[in-house]
Amino acid sequence: MDAGRGQWSSKIGFIFAAAGSAIGLGNIWRFPYVVGENGGAAFVLMYIAFVVIIGLPYMFAELALGRASKKNPVGAIEAIKPKSLWKWVGTLGVLTGVGILSFYGVIAGWTFGYIFKTAAGNIGEFSQFVSDPLIVLVLFAFFMVLTTLIVYGGVEGGIERWSKILMPILLILLVGLIIYANTLEGASRGLSFYLQPDFSKITGKTMLAALGQAFFSLSLGMGLMITYGSYVSKDDDIVNSAFYIGLFDTLIAFMAGLIIFPALFAMHQSPSAGPSLVFVVFPKLFTQMPGGLLVGTFFFILLTVAALTSTISLLEVPVAYLVDEKKYKRKKIVWIVSAFTFIVGIPSALSQGASSFFSDFGWLPERLTSVDFLSHMSFIFGDFSLAFGALLLSIFIGWIWGAPQAANELQRGSAFFTKTKAIWIFMIRYFIPAVIFLILLNLFGIFD
């Protein structure tokens, strides 16, 4: 078989790499602002419910397909249903990877830049920082190079080693920041916004926003877990691994909220500031806390690493596809894909004030997304494409490959799964596609 394809060195190595993909800006940057925009605690509860009843069972399906086929999303589908239109579902995943990476890399670049701003003790205004075209493009380019260098090293050498060392450090730093933020005067109002649900805040739109965030945060819907599953050894219990991935991912997002909301209310800021929320609140926190600039520098270093383990995974999907299916050399194609992604990302990088055309883009209606180009990309690839991809993939896995086949793959080494198999088959065939279908309807504003 593909002896040269690479494999995770151990089960724990796989868990760290997949958790590294899941944990990223989605947890610390996107989750808090989406919670803030959607009214707080009731949204958080919905989010957790969706992770458990949709995200996890769907993750099992992607992992099963990956490990059974030992292929990238396109190859995996081709192996089961050769020469059919289904392979376009895999292709959609590959393109979605490039699309997400193109704007995610921009935000990761800001994060990287904030390491130096914080270290220099000169944090300044966020809006001014993001409207400087040279700075944002250089930071974005730098981040793409960093990502490329790691993916260049292949599966075990690059991705796994980095994730293992650095993710635990992030966890410890977050605990420290939670403690500090909650000692601030007025912090408790933030905690109740975050933890005391007001169910009247749940609407069709909030429910669906929670589901979308669950997909984005768990790295689902574009075949990333198919790709990462393809490097998992046949002896590992993937159901159990998926539990840990979901648990770590949700924990980190939840912890980010435990910092942001107390700090935010203590500083009398609005929770619904949108994408700039984290880049405004965290720096303020670091400026006022004792030793804050040092802690802050460290924080942005770790956030950069968390973003990096996610950008690596986003680049790995198109690369694995081109290496497996088109027989390109990994070491050459990584540079080509990342250079292409950089070009696609230039408008996003310039859309926060640097270019008025891209900042005021407004191609999609404002009901769906904000006017800037980056928000358009985030909506098209981060929301629509993931949901659409997950809908098609769950149908493919449930009906075309067949839920019983997928279940057999999941059963290897999992006593727990064997007991709950019938429920899972029902979920992947009916429940999950039905719920995702509803999200898609809502993206078109049907229930608004």
Closer by beta carbon to ligand TRP, 184 or else 377: 377
CB of 206 or CB of 309, closer to ligand TRP: 309
CA distance 88 to 108: 29
Cα separation values, 82 from 39, 74, 77, 88, Å: 47, 10, 7, 12
- Cβ pair 50, 210 in contact under 8 A: yes
The three-state secondary structure class of 289 is coil
DSSP label at 275? Answer: G
* Phi, psi torsion values for 353, nearest 5 degrees: 125, -20
* Choice between 184 and 225, CB closer to ligand TRP: 225
The nearest distance, CB 314 to ligand TRP, in angstroms, is 5
Q: Within 13 Å and on the Cβ side, how many CA atoms surround 39?
A: 16
Shortest distance, position 25 Cβ to ligand TRP, whole Å: 5
Q: Which is nearer to ligand TRP, 355 or 394 (CB)?
A: 394
**In the complex with ligand TRP, which residue's Cβ is closer, 216 or 300?**
216
Give the three-class secondary structure for 184.
coil
Look at the block and give the residue holding tokens 């696609």. 344
Q: For residues 16 and 216, which CB has a smaller minimum distance to ligand TRP in the complex?
A: 216
DSSP letters for 36-81: HHTTSHHHHHHHHHHIIIIIHHHHHHHHHHHHHHTS-HHHHHHHHS
Residue 313 CA to residue 16 CA, distance in Å, equals 12
User: What residue number has its CB nearest to ligand TRP?
Assistant: 26
C-alpha 321 chain-centroid distance: 20
Q: Convert 293-318 to b/e letters by CB count within 10 Å (16 or more is b).
A: bebbbbbbbbbbbbbbbbbbbbbbbb
Minimal distance in Å, beta carbon 364 to ligand TRP? 20
Judged by CB, which is closer to ligand TRP: 26, or 190? 26
The region that residue 236 occupies, defined by phi over 0 for left and psi between -120 and 50 for alpha, beta otherwise, is beta
State the minimum distance, in angstroms, from the CB of residue 313 to ligand TRP.
4
> Taking the C-alpha atoms of 161, 338, 232 and 90 in order, what is their torsion angle to the nearest 10 degrees?
160
**Angle at CA 266, nearest 5°, toward 263 and 267?**
85
> For residues 37 and 132, which CB has a smaller minimum distance to ligand TRP in the complex?
37
User: For residues 141 and 163, what is the distance between their CA atoms, to the nearest angstrom?
Assistant: 22
Cβ-based neighbours of 11, under 8 Å, separated by 6 or more: 232, 233, 236, 237, 241
* Minimum CB distance to ligand TRP, residue 315 (Å): 9
Cβ-based neighbour number of residue 419 at 10 Å: 9
Q: In the complex with ligand TRP, which residue's Cβ is closer, 222 or 289?
A: 222
Q: At what angle do helices 277-288 and 238-266 cross, to 10 degrees?
A: 60
Q: How far is the CB of 166 from ligand TRP (least distance, A)?
A: 15
Q: Which residues bind ligand TRP (CB under 6 A)?
A: 21-22, 24-27, 100, 216-217, 219, 222, 224, 310, 313-314, 386
For residue 220, what is the DSSP state? -
Cβ-based nearer residue to ligand TRP, 222 or 277: 222
Q: Where are the alpha helices (DSSP H) in 231-355?
A: 238-266, 277-288, 292-326, 330-349
**In the complex, least distance from residue 21 CB atom to ligand TRP, rounded to whole angstroms:** 5
Between residues 226 and 293, which has the closer beta carbon with respect to ligand TRP? Answer: 226
Q: Which amino acid is at 131?
A: S
In angstroms, what is the minimal distance from the CB of 411 to ligand TRP?
Answer: 26
- The least distance separating ligand TRP from the CB of residue 69, rounded to whole angstroms, comes to 18
User: Considering the complex, what minimum distance in angstroms separates the CB of residue 222 from ligand TRP?
Assistant: 5
- Smallest separation, CB 303 to ligand TRP (Å): 10
